[in-house]
Structure 1
């Protein structure tokens, strides 16, 4: 697995992910974004200091994206999001990419806390997050609307001092 910054050439692959209702439901976001809209967002966010977007590759093939968003340099926290395409699910790429990017957030960006939101029904993801040291910090009732219904969400987070260095060294 290799992680690198998102580039303009990746937008067609990102566009495919963004147009899959089932995948975007896990991100609590609306699907069906046009490619031109995505290109416009890319140009607008190119120099945005409040986010970092990365591509996950497996043997040179686009396998997903992992992002740090809502970067707050005063309070030193940020949100992490990850999507792995169906073709590469079950290979441990979500876990490996999160380890690499959470370590990046703590070691390079000097964040104090990394947090995320997860559907309370997404047991696989919750298991991965807990394994990595994320702790439930809140239960948000009917916080997101997706696929015709309101969904409950956990907010989970990990502090820099809690981050298990042994995990990140294993990868």
Structure 2
């Protein structure tokens, strides 16, 4: 299996719609699973030229399996926030790990960013393992940061610096 990232196109919005309307997925994204396809099209059209974000589709040898986003790209501080969704039927096959490394390579080698950070539910052990293997380190716990699925959730803020990623890529 070869995992690749490619730019999100307007034709990919049905995949995004399916993923962002899955209540199990959106609980981990601390968001309500309620987004109309027409709304996604409007958002896409408004943001297609926005240089503060990059949105990618994760593909394998056969199909599109998820999305990766670098959002809030800050050109002064050279930082961004990382987000990923892999469709439930494709989880556990290495897509998220491979896509995370590819997104970090893009952030650090193409955009020349200094730091990539993320926020993850403390209960999402599988995602935390993937992020740690990719080189992210815990920077702190955000207490009762998000309300999802009827209750407040603690979240971890994790980050990785350009030099850490490049050293890990060279060593491994």
TM-score in same-fold range (> 0.5): yes
Aligned to 1:156: 158
Note closer, same or farther for the CA distance 1:166–1:132 as it changes in structure 2 (3 Å cut): same
Aligned to 2:77: 75
Query: What displacement does 1:60 show?
Result: 3.5
Q: TM-score, normalised by structure 1?
A: 0.95
- The 8 Å contact of residues 99 and 167 in structure 1, kept in 2 or not, is answered as no
- The 8 Å contact of residues 135 and 168 in structure 2, kept in 1 or not, is answered as no
Aligned to 1:123: 125
Out of 132, 135, 147, the residue aligned to residue 133 of structure 1 is: 135
Matches of 2:78 and 2:146 in 1, distance apart?
25
Query: What displacement does 1:27 show?
Result: 1.2
Q: TM-score, normalised by structure 2?
A: 0.94
Question: Quick check: 161-170 or 57-66, which moved more?
Answer: 161-170
SS in 2 for 1:82: strand
Question: Quick check: 159-168 or 82-91, which moved more?
Answer: 159-168
Q: What's the Cα RMSD here?
A: 1.4
Matches of 2:50 and 2:73 in 1, distance apart?
10
Unaligned runs of 5+ in 2: none
Matches of 1:61 and 1:146 in 2, distance apart?
30
After superposing on structure 2, the runs of 4+ consecutive aligned residues of structure 1 that deviate more than 6 Å are: none
Out of 7, 11, 15, the residue aligned to residue 5 of structure 1 is: 7
Question: Quick check: 158-167 or 113-122, which moved more?
Answer: 158-167
SS in 2 for 1:163: helix
Out of 82, 85, 88, the residue aligned to residue 86 of structure 1 is: 88
Aligned to 1:102: 104
Unaligned runs of 5+ in 1: none
Kindly provide the CA deviation profile for residues 131-153 of structure 1, in whole angstroms up to 9, marking residues without a partner as x: 11111111100001111111000
- The 8 Å contact of residues 114 and 161 in structure 2, kept in 1 or not, is answered as yes
